[in-house]
Amino acid sequence: MKILVFGATGPTGQQIVSQGLELGYKMTAFVRNSEKLAIRHPNLTIITGNVVDPKKVQDAVKGHDVIMSALGNGRSLKGDVFSIGSMNIVNAMEESLCKRIIIMSAFGVGNSINEVPILLKIIYKTLLKKTFVDKAIGERYLKQSNLDWTLVHPVILANGPKTTNYKTGKCIDIGEIPKISRADVADFMLKLVDDQTSLRRTHVISY
């Protein structure tokens, strides 16, 4: 199994890469700056490029069985990396033999905003409005594709160990200040690789 990870230098992306290697997968990390990825392993290939470059993405997708994305805008509140990157990935996959894609977005994107606790909803609709609009654009493009996609909606991301003690589903009880470790998000995303029941579905993940 060959898995290509976009957003591989981010905190969640690095968890996906390292845990995937532990599971015995052949991992490929697509990164803008290889120096930001400290992981080195015989089964790890590093591709340098920018996800907003369609040709780079198209070349990277070739030869892989599964695509995973942990793309984000970093500390920027106005970026469009998620939407443009997702579009480029979807377009590249539709021209390839690879059809399985698992994308981390965010709880509160699209209709899921109706399930967000009131205090978080205010933040998402004000301070993080452009970030969530960007993610919604990318999600809509993905859902219109013919790919075998799964969207993962983590609640507030936190640093912490992999516990495997989390809840997932379309609609789950998350509490008022829900959190989930990036390590557990990575664990869940990797468990979805062979999960046929998750195709064309969105899963919330929280403690």
Residue 130 buriedness (CB in 10 A; 0-12 / 13-18 / 19+): middle
The answer to whether 73 and 134 have CB atoms below 8 angstroms apart is yes
Residue 75 has pLDDT above 80, yes or no: no
Break the chain into its structural domains and give their ranges: 2-206
pTM for this structure? Answer: 0.95
Longest CA–CA separation in the chain, Å: 47
Residue 162 has pLDDT above 80, yes or no: yes
Mean pLDDT, the chain, whole residue set: 95
Residue 193 has pLDDT above 80, yes or no: yes
The answer to whether 89 and 61 have CB atoms below 8 angstroms apart is yes
Of the chain, the percentage scoring pLDDT greater than 90 comes to: 87
d(CA 178, CA 207): 7
Q: 2-206 in CATH: which number?
A: 3.40.50.720
Model confidence over 18-64: pLDDT tens digits? 999 999 999 999 999 999 999 999 999 999 999 999 999 999 999 99
Give the pair of three-digit tokens for residue 140. Answer: 């809509």
Residue 74 has pLDDT above 80, yes or no: no
